[in-house]
Copies of this chain bind each other. A is one copy, B any other.
Amino acid sequence: MTTPHEETLFSLWRELVDVSSASAVLEWDQETYMPSKGQEGRGRALSTLAGIRHRLVTAPELSDALSACEEKAEPGSDLEAQCREARRTVDRASRVSEDLAKALAEATSQGLASWQKARAGSDFSVFEESLGRIIELRREQAEAIDSSRSTYDVLMDEFEPGATESALAPVFENLCEQLSPLILEAAKSRPVDEAPAMGDFPVAEQKAFGLFVAEQMGFDFQAGRLDATTHPFCSGFHSNDVRITWRHLEGDFRSALYGIMHEAGHGLYEQGLPSKWAGTPIGGAVSLGIHESQSRLWENLVGRSRSFWKWALPHFVKHFPAKDGLTVDQLWPALHTARPSLIRVEADEATYNLHIAIRFDIERRLFAGEISVPDLPEAWDNAYEKYLGIRAENASDGVLQDIHWSMGAFGYFPTYSLGNLIACQLFDAAENELGDLDEAFAVGEFAPLRDWLGEKVHSQGSRWNASELVQKATGQPLTAGPFLAYIRDVSSEAYGLENPAPSSGSRR
């Protein structure tokens, strides 16, 4: 029943997706196994692929086929959704010249290399020139896509379609207002005992335990793999080949385990994308906020729960016999610290959104022209002092800690906080439908939750936009309520606060 126009649209889109998939393989290899001298040639190859992708997206045949499909699509139909997603991509690309697209690919590839060097030597100046060039090109790109909107809104739109500064600013303000007092109060209390999470955790055992947990979560290692990188990530070449990566601390198992559960959460989304729409405009994940909701849900709401540890602890002890005798009640508080820290990816679930608020604010000011590249280290350190009361001793622990800017990913950070909010909202909705999940977790049964997420989120691809998806899956629009209730509960209990703020019911 597909028309020739649809056939053209889908066959051209398939090519586009294949080229993106090839680029993703090159990027994965760049982060995992590529030898150091390979950088320049890899940057060139990626730049060439970006140029080819750009030509494919902006090809007149694609544009013609899309217009024809748009005319024919019934309101509310799958085809209409296909056209919506295709149109967004085509418009974003066709307004950017091939030269600019190639320059961006090359600049970010070089940016990655100089960020790595700068970070290794903790010297921001090594990264300055590359970063300046990337910002300049991103500004140029945003201007070309839509000069009527703020640069930062246009940048965010790439990662979270529809998100705006004006909508997000109050959310972050609200989060800060609620979180700061909680964290300050917790910081004044006796610290939680983190010794249960510390010790000597040999890397091979950490990897083995992480692989075991990811497998129990349902990550399919016949359709994916785990490798070590400086900065953990998940990259889905397609639903049958999803790469996740990890890193570790020898003396603290939480970094590796929760990193792996986080990336495996992303990975389940990628592996669960709808095969019937593979290679089509709505075949991919809908937004980074939704993506992050999947990783955070597994990392925090599952992985830090008492019931998860009832099941996991005996396995944990098998890998780390020195922890024999440890109880869930001893361990649990160490999984729910609310402590100011310098490194975002090591931050606890309570503090995390403050890290994001800082980045959101700095990025907005950077693109509003209020601060410039050389000001970044100072602006960064000042913000950390203001919000968290601490300053980084060197740039590696401060402004150089994240890979994102080296990849040109400005406007990306806010999606992390959206992920935290949506995760809690989805988890509440799952328990409303399935009943309490603790019994299942306590015997290592994660299939009910995974299947629910598969049905409500993964298998939907980009059939609905992010707001629609949240509404359909949870029965209500996006709200920070469940997240704030969760954080209040766990932080209050972990820190034994006498007057916990009112909460919305019993939490893990």
Per-residue CB proximity of A9-50 to B under 8 Å, as 1/0?
Answer: 000001100110111011001000111111011101101110
Does the CB pair A237–B15 fall under 8 Å?
A: no
Q: Which residues of B contact A35 (CB under 8 A)?
A: 221-225, 240-241
Does the CB pair A45–B33 fall under 8 Å?
A: no
CA gap between A223 and B35 in the complex, in Å: 5
Does the CB pair A45–B21 fall under 8 Å?
A: yes
Q: Is A458 an interface residue (CB 8 A)?
A: no
Q: Which residues of B contact A221 (CB under 8 A)?
A: 35
A22-B49, A29-B29 known; A40-B225 Cβ under 8 A: no
CA gap between A227 and B37 in the complex, in Å: 17
Q: Is A248 an interface residue (CB 8 A)?
A: no
What's the minimum C-beta distance from A150 to chain B, rounded to whole angstroms?
35
What's the minimum C-beta distance from A29 to chain B, rounded to whole angstroms?
6
Per-residue CB proximity of A82-112 to B under 8 Å, as 1/0?
Answer: 0000000000000000000000000000000
- Counting chain B CB atoms within 10 Å of each CB, the highest count among A34, A38, A237 belongs to A38
CA gap between A412 and B411 in the complex, in Å: 51
Q: Is A304 an interface residue (CB 8 A)?
A: no
Residue of B nearest to A239 (CB): B41
Q: Which residues of B contact A21 (CB under 8 A)?
A: 41, 45
Within 8 A of B (CB), among A232-246: 237-238, 240-241
Does the CB pair A241–B37 fall under 8 Å?
A: yes
Q: Which residues of B contact A40 (CB under 8 A)?
A: 240
Q: Which residues of B contact A47 (CB under 8 A)?
A: 18
CA gap between A238 and B40 in the complex, in Å: 10
CA gap between A51 and B52 in the complex, in Å: 12
Does the CB pair A223–B38 fall under 8 Å?
A: yes
Q: Is A220 an interface residue (CB 8 A)?
A: yes
Partner of A29, one of B19, B23, B25, B51: B25
Q: Which residues of B contact A26 (CB under 8 A)?
A: 22, 25
A34-B241, A38-B237, A41-B240 known; A48-B222 Cβ under 8 A: no
What's the minimum C-beta distance from A35 to chain B, rounded to whole angstroms?
5
Within 8 A of B (CB), among A63-78: none
Does the CB pair A240–B38 fall under 8 Å?
A: yes
CA gap between A123 and B23 in the complex, in Å: 36
Q: Which residues of B contact A42 (CB under 8 A)?
A: 237, 241
What's the minimum C-beta distance from A195 to chain B, rounded to whole angstroms?
35
A35-B224, A221-B35 known; A238-B29 Cβ under 8 A: no
Q: Which residues of B contact A45 (CB under 8 A)?
A: 18-19, 21-22, 25, 237
In addition to A15-B52, A35-B240, A37-B220, 8 A-B residue pairs with Cβ atoms within 8 Å of each other are A18-B48, A19-B45, A25-B29, A33-B227, A35-B222, A38-B241, A40-B240, A52-B52
What are 19 contact pairs spanning A and B, CB under 8 A?
A: A14-B48, A15-B51, A15-B52, A18-B44, A22-B22, A22-B49, A25-B26, A29-B29, A35-B221, A35-B223, A35-B224, A35-B240, A36-B222, A37-B240, A37-B241, A38-B223, A38-B241, A42-B241, A45-B237
